[in-house]
Amino acid sequence: MAKNIDKSQKKKADLRGAVIDFFNTENQAAYNYKQVSAGVGASTPKSRADVVEILEQLALDGFLSEVSPGKFKAKQRGTTGEGVFVRRSNGKNSVIIDDADEAIFVAERNSMHALNGDRVLVHICANRRGFEPEAEVLQIIEHKDQVFIGTLQVEKYFAHLVTDSKFLATDIFIPKNKLKGGHTGDKAIARIIEWPDDANSPVGEIVDILGETGNNDVEQNAILAEFGLPYVYPEDVVLAANKIDAGITPEVVAARRDMREITTFTIDPKDAKDFDDALSIRTLDNGNYEVGVHIADVTHYVTPGSTIDQEAESRATSVYLVDRVVPMLPEHLCNGICSLRPDEEKLTFSCVFEMDANAKVINKDICRTVIKSDRRFTYEEAQERIETGKGDFCEEILTLDRLAKILRARRYEEGSIDFDRCEVRFDIDETGRPIDVYFKESKDANKLIEEFMLLANKTVAEAIGKMKRGRSTKAFVYRVHDVPNEEKLANLVEIARTFGHKFRLSSKRIEMNKSLNTLLQDIKGKGEENLISTLAMRSMAKAVYTTDNIGHYGLGFDFYTHFTSPIRRYPDMMVHRLLDKYLNGGRSVNKQKLEDECKHCSEMEQLAANAERASIKYKQVEYLGERLGEVYEGVISGVTEWGLYVELNENKCEGLVPIRDLEDDFYELDEKNYCLIGRRKKMRYRLGDPITIQVARADLAKKQLDFALVDKDHPANPDLKNGKMKPAFSMPKKMKDKREKHEGANSKPSKRGKRRRARK
């Protein structure tokens, strides 16, 4: 029996969807409104009248044809499919059909006001010669739970939110009773509650007021909210964490390997508070070394399904913004009980290695331990001991450094790729204003820690993944890295050849990666270094979490996982639990459920990375916004049809030289060779070329920097006077649309990411 839609109070949009479903199922025959009403359960005069209106509208939309007066039939044109709607503020909406790589254009009039990320049913129009395919939304199957960030404008009788979103072209109308106390100029978070068919703007409600626009804390929280990441910690989770005691009782210690008397220390960044790994070392009677990699035993305190665990699983990772860390775990755990602070007994999960003088692993043990760190080193302090040979625990650090260098050399010999890029950091004053930029360099002390963490991660993955013959493999969390893009690698070969460098493609991973490492070493300090290293990085796949182990291409490992950072990564907590279960003879967990959790963690990791990049970009724009008119040297870091992206040598800030500023010629994009070429003079601007620019504009709201090209052989661009550009140019709409799409971050959240808390 048809379900009575009137009793279930379905909206007209749901009725429209039911009518579409009816014709998709019964699309070979023609039906009148009575037959359709009976088929969808529209039993009242009002709902039947709605059916009549829907049939007429679907006929106007082209989905139905009226084969005779009052009788309708589904048109047999194109195909119907489900997918994810992609909305853009420039009107270039599209839908990504399931299991398809191509995005199909959706005109606004055919969008049903679907929002970015909504799951939709679409009709794909048959291709016409000379035209790209188009789709029209027939039904919004599932609305993505999302919010929008912007600045409030409050009038006498109404208000609206001027959004910062790259996914919405219009402001959001806010009724006065939905303002939640907001005032003009407040940065606020809004949720769309309805978007009437005949309205240009959606209607929304304020979810939270972040504070005054421009305030540093407000803007950083706005970045988190923009990507669906939490910016406050739920009070109930904090209270639950505060009740947890360290609980290192004699009974607990007795069940573990006691390593409290062995020399142990941590090496971390100077501003770190959550020390989740420590190293121990001692010389054995046989002359070998015992090296312990000790990891905070977070899962001893956080039980599966608990309030704390649910929050950690939802977050999946800590988020590192320019001036703060948004932790995955409450502070009492991450900076207190679990942190391996000096002179405190701590519970750990460890990989203990017996190694000879050549860093060969003779024996290994994966076990739960109790330790007591003797010293907390910063990277700078450890580096000083490596360079000078002086200071406390100098002998232990020098021994670990020597072993790490042997491990690293062996790893490269076995096909690991040597990507070594600097990271941008800011000196921030008490108000959050960036006053200087510096680079984080990876020195021997950093590489020492990295090498032993890699060894521990690899060892744990092999312990579960390399099962003995005759035993079935148990479901596990792997960190995998797929093979590079073949087309991009082939292009890299051609580009390297133009600079006189050789890079050999090979079906054998070790041979090709050795060739790539040689290339990366050869270009160091040369003009083409930025170009070639950038192209090499872009050819690589993204590393993800999965239960299907395909190895880690970049590291050259057949088995790899994440075990060493459970304070800040949920996959490491998952690995700790699985490891404990399997080492004690437990049966395999459900692989599909574990895979779903892996996918969620990968998606949240990407969201966190997007937020981190947005935070850096915001500070770069803020920093250079105070330096308008200043001239810098840089390199071309991106080439597009709308201009040149330039990365400055001094501070690694990136901005755009709009193509209209290249006034000496008409420039065209050569995609294959990553350059712009002048049509008449053949002047070429290529990725990696050195270039001189002047800071022209800084737009904090859009996180965009515009540069103006400076010709060193002539006076500075005459359009630049007193550090200001001539009146803002009007970039051609097509180019502006593509720039916005290019600079818009991918912020598609996972299903679990919908559980974001937006309350204080």
Cα distance between residue 513 and residue 519, in whole Å: 10
Q: Determine the pLDDT at residue 742.
A: 54
Task: Say how many Å lie between the first and final Cα of the chain, rounded.
Answer: 47
Cα distance between residue 6 and residue 1, in whole Å: 14
**3 state DSSP class of 76:** coil
Cα distance between residue 88 and residue 740, in whole Å: 9
Q: Which two tokens stand for residue 501?
A: 């460098």
Q: Which residues of the chain have pLDDT under 70?
A: 1-11, 26-28, 62, 76-78, 100-102, 126-131, 421, 470, 527, 711-760
Cα distance between residue 544 and residue 603, in whole Å: 9
Burial of 196-217, coded b for 16+ CB within 10 Å and e otherwise, reads eeeeebbbbbbbbbbbebeebe
Reported as half-sphere exposure (CB side, CA atoms, 13 A), residue 262 has a value of: 20
Q: Determine the pLDDT at residue 740.
A: 55
Contact 629, 665 (CB under 8 A): no
Cα distance between residue 318 and residue 111, in whole Å: 36
Cα distance between residue 336 and residue 268, in whole Å: 16
Q: Determine the pLDDT at residue 130.
A: 52
The CA-atom distances, in angstroms, between 615 and each of 350, 509, 622 are 35, 36, 11
Could you report the per-residue pLDDT of 13-43, keeping only the tens digit for each? Answer: 788 888 887 887 765 678 888 889 988 888 8
Cα distance between residue 316 and residue 314, in whole Å: 6
Indicate the DSSP class of residue 396.
H
The CA-atom distances, in angstroms, between 9 and each of 38, 47, 112, 541, 560 are 17, 11, 21, 48, 52
Within 10 Å of residue 52's Cβ, how many Cβ atoms?
16
Contact 589, 595 (CB under 8 A): no
Contact 527, 688 (CB under 8 A): yes
**3 state DSSP class of 178:** helix
Q: What is the DSSP string of 138-172?
A: EEEEE-----EEEEEEE-SS-EEEEE--SS-SS-E
Helix (H) / strand (E) containing 365 = strand 361-372
- What residue ranges in 42-181 does DSSP mark as E strands? 64-68, 71-74, 79-86, 94-97, 103-105, 119-124, 135-142, 148-154, 159-163, 172-174
Q: Determine the pLDDT at residue 385.
A: 97
Residue found by looking up tokens 């860093």 in the block? 359
Name residue 636's beta-bridge partners: 646
| Burial class for 309, CB neighbours closer than 10 Å (0-12, 13-18, 19+) | buried
Q: Give the pairing of strands 319-321 and 324-326.
A: antiparallel
Q: Give the pairing of strands 257-258 and 361-372.
A: parallel
Residue found by looking up tokens 């790259």 in the block? 166
Nearest to 700 by CA among 216, 294, 200: 216
Residue 572, C-beta contacts closer than 8 angstroms, at least 6 positions apart: 295, 298, 562, 563, 564, 565, 566
Cα distance between residue 710 and residue 713, in whole Å: 9
Q: Give the pairing of strands 631-640 and 135-142.
A: unpaired
Angle at 621 between CA 617 and CA 622, to 5 degrees: 115
Contact 398, 382 (CB under 8 A): no
Cα distance between residue 315 and residue 227, in whole Å: 12
Q: Determine the pLDDT at residue 5.
A: 43
Q: Give the pairing of strands 257-258 and 375-378.
A: unpaired
Q: Which two tokens stand for residue 484?
A: 């590079």
Amino acid at 201: S
Nearest to 529 by CA among 510, 509, 501: 501
For every residue of 539-593, which 3-state class applies, written as one string?
A: CCCCCEEECCCCCECCCCECCCCCCCCCCCEHHHHHHHHHHHHHHCCCCCCCHHH
Residue 11, C-beta contacts closer than 8 angstroms, at least 6 positions apart: none
Q: Which two tokens stand for residue 217?
A: 């804390």
Q: Give the pairing of strands 704-709 and 690-699.
A: antiparallel
CA dihedral over 613, 616, 621, 624, signed as positive or negative: negative
